[in-house]
A and B are shown apart, each in its own frame.
Chain A
Amino acid sequence: MTRKLLYVIGFAAVLALPQVLPEELNWLIMLLDRALMIAIVAIGLNILTGNAGQISLGHAAFMGFGAFVCYGLTDIIGVPFWFSVPIAGFVAAILGWGLGFPALRLSGHYLAIATLGFGYAIPQILNLFEGWTGGWTGVKPSVPTLFGISFSSDRAYFYLILVTLVVLVWIARNIQRSAVGRAFIALRDSEVAAQAMGISLAKYKTMAFAISAFYAGVAGGLWAHWLNYISPGNFGFGISIELFTIIVLGGLGTVSGAIVGALFLGLLPKLTEIISLSLQRSGAFADSFFMQNVFKNSNQVLTGVILILVVLYLPMGLVDLWRKARVWWETRRQAAGRQAVPRGVK
C-alpha cells in the first residue's frame, strides 16, 4: 500500500520535473533526455548480456542503424514520426537477428571481438549510402510534431522519451517473467541442460539479439530526431562501451539496473565537473602546481575512482545497494525491537 503510494508520488515527481526545473538547469533536462534514451538501449542490452549471457560490444551500431532508418522513413519517405520509431525498432531487430547467426558459433572473448567487429563495420557500411545517411557529413533529422505539438525543446522531448521508456520497461519485464526470459537465463547457465529442456540455442540466442536490437533501434529513432543531427561516425565504440559499462555498473540482468546505471553514468561526469570546479575555485593548494592540475582533471579522475569502487564493492551493481540497505534496515529494526519490547514465550 505505502509502496504503491511511493511509486505514484515518484512518478508524479518525474512528470512534473520538466515543468518545475528553472532555466539555469536546462543542462540537467538535456542530460536526462540523453540518459533515458541510453537507458532504453541498455535495457535491451541487459536482456542480451545479463539474461542470455551473450556479450555485445557493438551495440551502438544498432542504435545508429535505427536512427538512420527512422530518419529515412520520416524525412525521406514521409512516414509519420510516431510510426517510424517502432518500425526503426523492428528493422534493427531483423538486423540483430541476422547478426545473431554468426554469433552462434562464438562465445566469451570471441563473441566480444566479433561484436566489436560489426560495431565497427555497420557505421562504415552506412557511410557508403551517402544519399540516405549523408556519409561522414551526416544528416539533419526533423523536429517531430505530434497532435500539433512540436517537440523542439528538451523539456517537451522528455515526455516522448518517458512514454517510450515506460512501454519498453513494461515489455522487458513481461519478457523476463515469461517462458522466453526463463529460456534466456537457462541457456546462459547451462547450454546442455537448456537443450535437454527443449530450448533451441539457435532460436533463443538469435531472438535475444533481435530483442536487444529492437530496443537499440527504437532509442536510435528517438535520438535522431532529438539531436537533429546524426552521422554514422557518432555511433561508434564510445557509446558501445558506455552501454556495456552501464549494465555492469547498474546491475546485470535487471531493468532497474539498466536505468540506474544509465542515469548514474549520464549524470556522474557533470557532478564530478561541479566538484572539480569548486575545488579549483576554493583556492586550496593555490601554490601547488601539481594539486591544481589534479583539481583540473579531477573530473575524469573522480569518475574513474567511483567506477572502480562500485565494481570492487558492489559486484552485483548499484541496484544491489538498495537490497543491502534493506537488509541492514531490517536487522537494525529487529535488533531495536528485541531491546525495546522484552518478549516472553510466543
Chain B
Amino acid sequence: MAILELSGVTVRFGGIVAVNQLDMKVEEGTIHGLIGPNGAGKSTVFNVLSRYYEPAEGTVTFDGRNLLQYQPSQVVGLGIARTFQNVELFRGLTVWENLMVGQHHNIRYGMFAAALGGLLPRVRQAEQEARDRAMEVLEFLGIAAHRDAYPQFLPYGIQKRVEFARALVSRPRLILLDEPAAGMNPSETEELAQLIKIMRDKYETTVLLVEHDMSLVMSICERITVMDFGRKIADGTPAEVQANPAVIKAYLGEEEVEAEHA
C-alpha cells in the first residue's frame, strides 16, 4: 500500500515552475530514491511535504489523510520527519538536546508542568524516557561520543548524521533524507547505506531519499523517481531507471554542459 501519494503537484515561484504536475507513490516500508540534476525540484518536494510551500495544484495524501490541511508543526505528529539539505541544527543546544527537541511532539507536558520541573514525577519520567531514547538513537548511528558537543564544532559529515538522528528519534513512519551523504567520504557513505537499511528494518520506517551519490542510491533504493526541470521523467527499479534513455539524457546533458564549461 502506498503510504505517500502525490498527484498533479505543481509548485510555482513567480515565473519558475519548480515542480510540474508531479505524480509519485511511495510504498510503505520501502527505501525510495528521488533523484535528478541540480535544480530539478527535489528539495521543493520535501518542502511541500513539510508544508512550507503551498502547491498551486495537486493533492498530497499521507496514510490516507490529506496532508495539505495540516500546519507545518503538525506534520511530525502525523509521522513524517525530515533532514535538511543545508544542515539546520539548533546551534544553542548540544547534540543530545537537539535530539530532545526532535521528540518534542512526544513529550506531553505543558508550560505549568515545565515551570515546576523535576518536582512533578511525570515531568521527570517524560524527560528520562526522552533522554534514554536519544541515547539509543545516538548509539545506533554511532555518534554517542558527540552527545555533549555543540553541533557547529563538529565536522559536516557528523552534523549530517546528527540531523538524521534528530529525525529518527521522533519515531517517524516516513523519514525524508535530503542528501544525507553530503560531506562524507566513500567509506562513510557505505556505512551510511548500511545504517539506512538497518534503520528501515529496526524502526519499521519508510524512507524517501534525495541523494546525488549514485552508488548510494542504486545500492539501497528499491524504487526510484527521477525528476528534471520539475517534471518526473522516470520511475521504477534501479535497473529500469538506469536503462531509461530519458534519464541517461538528463544526466548526460548535465555532463555535456559541464564539459563545455571546462
- Which A residues are within 8 Å of any B CB, using their own CB? 171, 173-175, 177-183, 185-186, 188-190, 192-201, 207, 211, 253
Contacts and interface: CB of A to CB of B under 8 A. Distances in A.
Given A182-B100, A196-B50, A197-B105, A175 B90 contact: no
Given A174-B118, A177-B117, A193 B88 contact: yes
A182 B73 contact: no
Please classify the interface of chain A as helix (H, G, I), strand (E, B), loop, or mixed, using the class held by over half of its residues. helix
B40 interface: no
B73 A190 contact: no
B101 A186 contact: yes
B101 A194 contact: yes
Given A182-B101, A183-B101, A201-B73, A196 B81 contact: yes
Contact of B104 (A175, A190, A198): A198
Contacts of B16: none
B90 A193 contact: yes
A198 B123 contact: no
14 contacts: A175-B114, A178-B114, A179-B104, A179-B126, A182-B97, A183-B101, A186-B101, A188-B92, A195-B72, A197-B101, A198-B76, A198-B105, A199-B101, A207-B111
B84 interface: yes
B90 A190 contact: yes
B251 interface: no
Interface size class of B (residues with CB under 8 A): 35 or more
Interface in B82-101: 82, 84, 88-93, 97, 100-101
Contacts of B104: 179, 182-183, 186, 197-199
Nearest to B167: A196
B113 to A, nearest CB: 8
A211 B105 CA distance: 21
A122 to B, nearest CB: 24
B77 A198 contact: yes
Given A182-B104, A198-B77, A189 B114 contact: no
B109 A174 contact: no
Nearest to A210: B111
